[in-house]
Structure 1
């Protein structure tokens, strides 16, 4: 018997409802629940499918302070060496470059060769920064007269290594340390009373002596860009670059006046580190006591060390060669210490390094160094089944001919004087006596680059290789040049300046530039035709002619012997090129202006202290100005 039509319709409606999708959960729970807090406490971005393990630990130091440490290695590694870096630039960010599940993607480029060969990579925040506990002190001095506490970067490195070899089960108990700039400094500090498990070190462009030639001063002249670094490094909230706008930094520093007036105008004297620098304009015990090359020279070198620097390092060109010179006498067998000078800007060794500004190299020189030299050096000291060591005593890259070269010592050339000569020439023979003069005006200092100047980004990274024709011909710049070379001149070492000069003022700066002048016709690369390539540029503050710790006014009209070194280089001046030497009295705004009158501290010079002065450069005879070049016999 058939069902009534009304019953059939009712059953059909029920079936239709049952066949519809279920109502959303939130709708079933009611409207109030849609306002629930949707934030969750954390998310582990390292997923189970990752090819690596990443672990964060807080490692206790001897004073109870705990330091934030990130340990990364490929899954499945055993009996593995540890490569440590101690950084003020955030260990967490250094180990999460990309939030990838591939190990070579989360770490800096330079780490790939190591972690892909079973190394354990460790990054640690230095005390007081980012995830680490404690107080931060810029370039914390070694415990002693300048540091009354019982902890420093040496003890922190020791305690960290001790914890790692006892607690990282994948490790073989051998540790190397590396890093560039500030990380180069912490790498060197680990060599002071080192932990027995520290078997190798590769400090790169290390901050060694902030007054002599690294970040804050060069031969007594203050480097103004340090203010930006101080603000970014020591302020928890509101730091970064000095808020002077985005205009011409030449104009901004000139309008502010002295370094002290600039610091006060932007509230930088609230920063302890700035106050310390302003209070110590000369090379006093405060600076000398922090010089890492002096600290290391007083100890026996027990850890094999490879020191690395870029030939055009715009920030820390001084430190690595200074440490090499301080320690080389201990390395009679050439098996404990090596020096590397590559064709790089600051820290470029850790990135792709096929070029620098307009200069092109034969391949990626950074990768070449890491795979051919750095990794074999670390392998032979850190691996359990270690290959034999074959580390070059000195490794350099000859710009000009673009090739790697090995030397037994450094400098690797014999010094020969290239004299300033009449007619703005240069001569290998001492000329007859004479002189040239120019007027130095602090109101119109010689710029470091064509204006407008911005001391950041690519402009800052490559300023040392900028074409120097932009100042050639200024009335306050003297340019001396050889004739066209008919054979190569290869220099391997730090050129030495012997400038015989007098001033009508009571103080003066002198800047000397060693320049490779390219041929006016250069069909191979027309962009380099006539190019004036800086090979070495360095400044000297005249008041320190009798000693960096004893500034004194200059006697107007008296000729002094101002002597200093240019950065270390391996360079070939090719046939068809010329060698040029430029002399000037400012390099602004990289270095603060010398008022050229006498003031106890140039940091506190007032507007009325800045005066014009006539600078006279002597040449030939008994007062022969020269640049001594370390000429190699090849």
Structure 2
């Protein structure tokens, strides 16, 4: 055969052996619907719409180990997208497919459940930010308490691989949903772990601290309420938020220009600047103390939680005061907000003994759940487990606080601190200028930078020490240890030249000047407790009033819980200032009836005089363990 004819015959034969293509030439290379085989998976993933009592259906993802039989279920209700939370990756292994924080529960064979709260992402219904409980602020017949009840009821009836017991866990807003479930828990809810829960956003969680508005909350508000999915946040013209918000003027005007008038929750906040019935009726630490549940509850808090410092601390205290300490436990670790769901080897430059977050999940949460959801061995948790960062160890405590804040540490002359009251009259003064506020972290400040945001509470405070508008007081070098275990109380006596001002107090551990292992920690000024009080609320959070110019006033407020040992060779320091910007909005230092109606002309400098006399003694009252 001729060579060309032979080649043609070979090609024709090969072409005949290729099966005909089913698709047309214009179909392209992307199938209409790709289905990934799941036979290799060691879990079953169910996506269901769970009906609520009013007919609204909530998107729910149920992830079940294939080997599950009479397994407990752990539920998280979230505004952050249940679909994504239940799909960290497309791994065929359940331990890899879910978030790393779930690994301990997955390894224990638990069924994991995630649900979009009403009105968010794939759930039906209308979304309201931290929707108030049924009552004066919610006249419907549903809330997140009933939604949790209905979800739990559906799960125990429709997941045959379960043992009919449910636990709940979640951090931040998700922690809030856990606490809401506790107001009227389903009988199958046998254990709860609210982590860093939003409980009272006016008093000390996301939105305010003692009346001072947190500018950082603008991004969260936009992210949560601009859209059913995720909003885009607040636009910036420059990287440095210090410059951005300083140039922007009053925060309400800035929000107006960013379109916040379209956001109902923002408008509610504008209408309720003080701690009135609107805020009080949804303060969950009060509500759970009024109607405490019998559900065993493990409260978690970070000692340096930069977002929700109030929730777990005050919920545990309120339940204890109501006589319901016996089924409640508290864990406070050396963590930033929600760090228990990441690694916990360190925070900023400070390193701990092992992964403290994993220790919490594996040695506290898992035994807690196994005991109450599977009749496992006693979890053996102490009533309070608190990490002392100075001694780098967990303290296992039978009670909390170990000490009341009855030991005053007085401000004295020459910028001193003493456990003895001042023997002579004295005062210190500074000028607080709203056009030059004290930054809360070294500039440039970017509130969207997660790394710097998580660690600002442990920043070295030398970056402001020496500013003329920051007063610094310290003890001599300690010769014996001073152990604190409780909540310090600031009691600062000031007079001001204006009619309003903020008071910021930081309790600081000053490390020795040299550190051969970590040289940069030499002389480090570590704040162990920081907070702010808006002066107009010094007498009443619900009924603000102007500050009389030139008249000494007491500014008394509780700082966050600490379990901390000041070692010999260290010093105790207190810093006092009037601004923490741009974390908190600037006080105009002029009393304005509604602080959201501030004009640029209202901002004025004020002379702040801090008293330390026998008659007017400023102090921080410490919970010293004797």
Q: TM-score range by the shorter chain?
A: over 0.9
Correspondence 1:502-521 to 2 at 5 A: 502-521=495-514
Q: Is the 8 A contact 1:46 1:54 kept in 2?
A: no
The answer to whether the aligner puts 1:117 opposite 2:108 as a matched pair is yes
Q: Deviations over 1:525-546 (max 9, x none)?
A: 1010111111111000110111
Which residue of the partner structure matches residue 437 of structure 2?
A: 445
Q: How much has 1:25 moved relative to structure 2?
A: 5.6
Runs of 4+ in 1 over 3 A off after TM superposition: 8-19, 21-26, 37-46, 329-332
User: Structure 1 CA distance, aligned partners of 2:201 and 2:274?
Assistant: 11
User: Structure 1 CA distance, aligned partners of 2:5 and 2:616?
Assistant: 117
User: Structure 2 CA distance, aligned partners of 1:167 and 1:444?
Assistant: 60
Which residue of the partner structure matches residue 583 of structure 1?
A: 576
- Which deviates further from its counterpart, 294-303 or 393-402? 294-303
Which residue among 532, 546, 550 is the counterpart of 1:553? 546
User: Structure 2 CA distance, aligned partners of 1:169 and 1:602?
Assistant: 55
User: Structure 2 CA distance, aligned partners of 1:70 and 1:220?
Assistant: 39
Q: Is the 8 A contact 1:84 1:176 kept in 2?
A: yes
Which residue among 54, 60, 64 is the counterpart of 2:51? 60
Correspondence 1:424-463 to 2 at 5 A: 424-432=415-423, 433-456=425-448, 457-463=450-456
Q: How much has 1:391 moved relative to structure 2?
A: 2.2
User: Structure 2 CA distance, aligned partners of 1:510 and 1:584?
Assistant: 6
Q: How much has 1:486 moved relative to structure 2?
A: 1.3
Which residue among 256, 279, 302 is the counterpart of 1:287? 279
User: Structure 2 CA distance, aligned partners of 1:400 and 1:91?
Assistant: 38
Which residue of the partner structure matches residue 146 of structure 2?
A: 155
Which residue of the partner structure matches residue 237 of structure 2?
A: 245
Q: How much has 1:43 moved relative to structure 2?
A: 3.5
Which residue of the partner structure matches residue 276 of structure 1?
A: 268
Q: How much has 1:58 moved relative to structure 2?
A: 0.6
Which residue of the partner structure matches residue 473 of structure 1?
A: 466
Which residue of the partner structure matches residue 370 of structure 2?
A: 379
Which residue among 556, 565, 589 is the counterpart of 2:558? 565
Q: How much has 1:344 moved relative to structure 2?
A: 0.1
User: Structure 1 CA distance, aligned partners of 2:6 and 2:54?
Assistant: 79
User: Structure 1 CA distance, aligned partners of 2:533 and 2:513?
Assistant: 32
Which residue among 299, 309, 314 is the counterpart of 2:291? 299
Which residue of the partner structure matches residue 628 of structure 1?
A: 621
User: The residue matched to 1:241 in structure 2 has which SS?
Assistant: coil
The answer to whether the aligner puts 1:16 opposite 2:10 as a matched pair is yes
Which residue of the partner structure matches residue 327 of structure 1?
A: 319
User: Structure 2 CA distance, aligned partners of 1:615 and 1:483?
Assistant: 26
Change in CA separation of 1:480 and 1:128 when aligned onto 2, cut-off 3 Å: same
Which residue among 602, 606, 610 is the counterpart of 1:609? 602
Which residue of the partner structure matches residue 316 of structure 1?
A: 308
Q: How much has 1:414 moved relative to structure 2?
A: 4.0
User: The residue matched to 2:321 in structure 1 has which SS?
Assistant: helix
- Which deviates further from its counterpart, 336-345 or 41-50? 41-50
User: Structure 2 CA distance, aligned partners of 1:541 and 1:12?
Assistant: 95
Which residue of the partner structure matches residue 204 of structure 1?
A: 195
Q: Is the 8 A contact 1:51 1:74 kept in 2?
A: yes
Q: Is the 8 A contact 1:507 1:553 kept in 2?
A: yes
User: Structure 1 CA distance, aligned partners of 2:230 and 2:199?
Assistant: 28
Change in CA separation of 1:98 and 1:13 when aligned onto 2, cut-off 3 Å: closer
Unaligned runs of 5+ in 1: 1-5
User: Structure 2 CA distance, aligned partners of 1:9 and 1:600?
Assistant: 100
User: Structure 2 CA distance, aligned partners of 1:46 and 1:378?
Assistant: 33
Q: How much has 1:330 moved relative to structure 2?
A: 4.3
Q: Is the 8 A contact 1:380 1:387 kept in 2?
A: yes
User: The residue matched to 1:206 in structure 2 has which SS?
Assistant: coil
User: Structure 2 CA distance, aligned partners of 1:228 and 1:315?
Assistant: 13
User: The residue matched to 1:77 in structure 2 has which SS?
Assistant: coil
Q: Deviations over 1:510-531 (max 9, x none)?
A: 0000111111111121010111
Q: How much has 1:245 moved relative to structure 2?
A: 3.1
User: Structure 2 CA distance, aligned partners of 1:595 and 1:140?
Assistant: 32
Q: How much has 1:10 moved relative to structure 2?
A: 11
Q: Superposition RMSD on alpha carbons, in Å? A: 1.9
Q: Is the 8 A contact 1:53 1:73 kept in 2?
A: yes
User: The residue matched to 1:20 in structure 2 has which SS?
Assistant: helix
Change in CA separation of 1:319 and 1:238 when aligned onto 2, cut-off 3 Å: closer
Correspondence 1:366-405 to 2 at 5 A: 366-383=357-374, 385-405=375-395
User: Structure 2 CA distance, aligned partners of 1:93 and 1:22?
Assistant: 47
User: Structure 2 CA distance, aligned partners of 1:366 and 1:190?
Assistant: 25
User: The residue matched to 1:262 in structure 2 has which SS?
Assistant: helix
Q: Is the 8 A contact 1:258 1:602 kept in 2?
A: no
User: Structure 1 CA distance, aligned partners of 2:254 and 2:142?
Assistant: 34
User: The residue matched to 2:131 in structure 1 has which SS?
Assistant: coil
Q: Is the 8 A contact 2:241 2:445 kept in 1?
A: yes
Q: Is the 8 A contact 1:401 1:572 kept in 2?
A: yes
- Which deviates further from its counterpart, 491-500 or 14-23? 14-23
- Which deviates further from its counterpart, 462-471 or 425-434? 425-434
How many matched pairs? 622
Q: Is the 8 A contact 2:364 2:379 kept in 1?
A: no
Q: Is the 8 A contact 2:218 2:234 kept in 1?
A: yes
User: Structure 2 CA distance, aligned partners of 1:393 and 1:363?
Assistant: 23
User: Structure 2 CA distance, aligned partners of 1:10 and 1:367?
Assistant: 72
Q: Is the 8 A contact 1:74 1:116 kept in 2?
A: no
Which residue among 584, 587, 593 is the counterpart of 2:586? 593
User: Structure 1 CA distance, aligned partners of 2:542 and 2:240?
Assistant: 34
Change in CA separation of 1:354 and 1:14 when aligned onto 2, cut-off 3 Å: closer
User: The residue matched to 1:405 in structure 2 has which SS?
Assistant: strand
User: Structure 2 CA distance, aligned partners of 1:115 and 1:461?
Assistant: 27
User: Structure 1 CA distance, aligned partners of 2:559 and 2:233?
Assistant: 29
TM-score (normalised: structure 2): 0.96
- Which deviates further from its counterpart, 259-268 or 54-63? 259-268
Q: Is the 8 A contact 2:410 2:618 kept in 1?
A: yes
Change in CA separation of 1:43 and 1:495 when aligned onto 2, cut-off 3 Å: farther
Q: Is the 8 A contact 2:184 2:293 kept in 1?
A: no
User: Structure 1 CA distance, aligned partners of 2:586 and 2:307?
Assistant: 19
Q: Deviations over 1:278-328 (max 9, x none)?
A: 221110111111111111111132111111000000000011111111101
User: The residue matched to 2:24 in structure 1 has which SS?
Assistant: helix
Change in CA separation of 1:42 and 1:486 when aligned onto 2, cut-off 3 Å: farther
User: Structure 1 CA distance, aligned partners of 2:206 and 2:230?
Assistant: 23
